[in-house]
Amino acid sequence: MILPIYLYGQPVLRKEAEEVPADYAELKQLVDDMFETLTVAEGCGLAAPQVGKSLRLFVVDGTELKEEYPECANFKQAFVNPEILEESEEKIAYSEGCLSLPGISENVVRPKRVLVHYYDIDGNEHEEWLEGFNSRIFQHEYDHIEGNVFTDRISPIRRQFVKGKLVNIAKGKTTPKYRYKRN
């Protein structure tokens, strides 16, 4: 089922999300729905708060980006209760966008590599270093489960510049092509 994507201004995007309980029966269905929603919206990542669920869960699909970022070729999976254990000191800027902030893309500087720990949908535990754009997608989605959005991380001058665009999204003056939820 395609779920509506919650747009900037929805309180759920600003909440620190709760751990996914070990016995959460709807997990597989929710992950299926999130993948379907992500594919239709043509994004590369979608976090549970973006579909109105305040849970520490996100899905990624970087496979369409494999020409530009070869490391994304097999990067399609769900992350349950993910954590960032370590960050490289080396940082890198990439242009980011977000399905909850349609029409905005800005350069964001973040650690180049991250060591992450997470569970897959079968409850198996994983720990690995993510590199390149995989690391970037993970960090962007991780922000969502902490109640942050990428424009929180841009320079004060750029934030001033996008402020009007954020207001327009929240007020309904910017409308994406995909199914969405505003107020």
- Strands (E) across 23-179 are located at 45-47, 57-61, 76-87, 91-96, 106-111, 114-119, 125-130
Closest CA to 116 of 134, 93, 92, 99: 134
Query: Residue 13 or residue 80: which is nearer to Ni ion going by CB?
Result: 13
Query: Residue 98 or residue 145: which is nearer to Ni ion going by CB?
Result: 98
Q: How far apart are CA 131 and CA 52, in angstroms?
A: 29
Q: How far apart are CA 90 and CA 167, in angstroms?
A: 33
How far, in Å, are 4, 36, 94, 122 from residue 41 at the CA level? 10, 9, 21, 26
Figure out which of the listed residues 98, 116, 130, 137 binds Ni ion, where binding follows CB under 5 A. Answer: 98
Q: How far apart are CA 49 and CA 159, in angstroms?
A: 22
Least distance to Ni ion, CB of residue 5, Å: 9
Query: Residue 20 or residue 137: which is nearer to Ni ion going by CB?
Result: 137
Site for Ni ion in 49-88 (CB under 5 A): none
Least distance to Ni ion, CB of residue 123, Å: 26
Only segment of 13-21, 94-102, 103-111, 122-130 that touches Ni ion (CB under 5 A): 94-102
Query: Residue 43 or residue 116: which is nearer to Ni ion going by CB?
Result: 43
Q: Is 141 a catalytic residue?
A: yes
Least distance to Ni ion, CB of residue 101, Å: 7
Q: Does residue 38 touch Ni ion according to CB under 5 A?
A: no
Least distance to Ni ion, CB of residue 115, Å: 22
Q: Looking at residue 156, what DSSP letter applies?
A: H
Active-site residues, by number, are: 141
Q: Interface residues with Ni ion (CB under 5 A)?
A: 98
